[in-house]
Amino acid sequence: MQKFQLYLFDFDGTLFDTLPSSKYVFKKAYEKIGIKLNEDDILGFTREPIPDSYERVGGKKEEWGVFINYIELYVNSKESIDLTGIYDDTYDTIIDLRMDEADLGIVTSNNVPHVRDILKKFDMQKDFFTVLVGNREAPNPKPSPEPILKALEMINYKGDKKDVCYVGDSLNDCLSAVNAGIVPILLDRDDEYKDIPYQKIKSLKELLK
């Protein structure tokens, strides 16, 4: 595996197991605007921009602002934090990359205060990560390159983009990386994706090989 100067990571489904939390958040937020969901629907919501899934299930344009406020309310709730887990390969990989003097960052569609709460929950020091970018720092969601480019701007990165990778668990993560001109790496823990044009790993530990 190529060694990178800067490793950027997606948050949900990549570093942390947020599916139980996401099920809770989406179910509660949609219920508040009168839309009932099947649990099977929610997995798809974690793999696409929220505006896309909102439109797909028939959310009304005039209720969008209210809905997003509910999403943030429930994401930041104690229940959401309690439901969030950490993958077995996350902590050791982050420690080893830092010991190898790599810079690390998180680029997510979630919000940074919530990310900080989860890092604190799992005793991950905030200075492990040089930069945190969320939906407030970069409102245009992936596959837009904006979140990744914002991260590079925030740390004033002047190096070669070939020395930067973005590790995520969805094709939108890879597309965002490609659009930003950096190296995409797809984390496919369950071997869901076949014949894709991106480098694929099944564990974060493969970044260390």
What confidence score (pLDDT) does residue 81 get?
Answer: 95
Q: Which CATH number fits domain 6-17+85-208: 3.30.300.30, 3.40.50.1000, 1.10.3720.10, 3.20.20.120?
A: 3.40.50.1000
Mean pLDDT for each consecutive 10-residue tract of the chain (209 residues)? 95 95 92 86 78 89 94 93 96 94 95 93 85 94 96 96 97 97 97 92 95
Domain boundaries, the chain: 6-17+85-208, 19-83
Q: Which runs of consecutive H residues, i.e. helices, occur in the chain? A: 19-32, 39-45, 50-56, 64-75, 78-83, 90-99, 112-121, 146-154, 171-180
User: pTM score, two decimals?
Assistant: 0.91
In whole angstroms, how far apart are CA 170 and each of 43, 130, 167, 173, 175? 12, 23, 9, 5, 9
What confidence score (pLDDT) does residue 44 get?
Answer: 74
